[in-house]
Amino acid sequence: MKRVFSYAALLLGALACAAPFALLILTSLMTYQQTIAYPPEWLPRPLTLENYYQAFTTSPLLRYFGNSVLVAAATVSGQLAAGAMAGFAFARLRFGGRSVLFFLILATMMVPVQVNLVPLFALVARFGWVDSYWALIVPDLAGAFGVFLFRQWFLNLPQELEDAARIDGCNPWQFFWRIALPTALPAIATLGIFQFLASWNTFMWPLIVTNSDAIRTLPVGLAAFRASMHETTNWPLLMAATSVAIVPAIFVFLALQRFFLRGLMEGAVKG
């Protein structure tokens, strides 16, 4: 009986999570007249893809999409590279001030993002990066969470493995690149998913540092697209554009979920 209730609760939870996405897709396939009909219509009759065509032709949606892909790919690559190398150094190397430096890095996680907006914008403006890809990418190329995640992962590597590598002639860089990093695929997938979703969905910072459609990312572009509709919101058109925006996030999670779940499970066991 407990199992039945457990499965029923999981099913209800899954339906509650899936319902907004189902409504999003169904609305994007409707005509505008259907969305304002009373009583409400839940199924598109007739089913139409015209909203997707109009979303791409009446706004620079493809440009927004490309900008988001570029920014997400760059920030994920930077976070993985910086986090893996710094995490390995804090976990396996011995140097003066290591604990103090690691504490200072972790302390940055306690500072609200909003506190950094003004000084970060002032710094970006001084470099002349406003309304450029540099402003969207450089501030997110490294982060404390990635350093912490990889440090915890590399701390769990057996010391005997490192000793054997040294006997075989590996220096610290060779041990990191050839042995330690290949074992960290779950950590790589976990950080990759978190950073991709954070970069893909971020709104406030791109809104502050971008002024033109040529640089805007999808969240800001969708807001501008909505604002361009003035008094009346064309919900099917807006839902079609939003549907396009969520596809990459779903794809990335599905592609990496095996490593992501493995990382969570191994982290729980090791913790």
Does the pLDDT value for residue 271 go beyond 70? no
Dump pLDDT digits (tens) for 222-242: 998 888 887 778 889 999 999
CATH top class, domain 52-270: mainly alpha
> Residue 200: CA atoms inside 13 Å, Cβ hemisphere, count?
22
What's the whole-model pTM score?
Answer: 0.87
pLDDT band for 267, please (50, 70, 90 cuts).
very low
What pLDDT sits at residue 42?
83
Q: What's the CA gap between 205 and 227, in Å, rounded?
A: 19
How is the chain split into domains, by residue range? Answer: 1-48, 52-270
If one counts every other C-beta atom within 10 angstroms of the C-beta of residue 256, the result is 19
- Confidence bin at 269 (pLDDT 50/70/90): very low
As a whole number of angstroms, the distance between CA 110 and CA 205 comes to 18
What are the pLDDT digits (tens) for 102-127?
999 999 988 888 888 999 999 999 99
Is the confidence at residue 260, as pLDDT, over 70? no
Contact (CB, 8 A) for 240 and 233: no
Identify the band that residue 265 occupies on the pLDDT scale cut at 50, 70 and 90. low
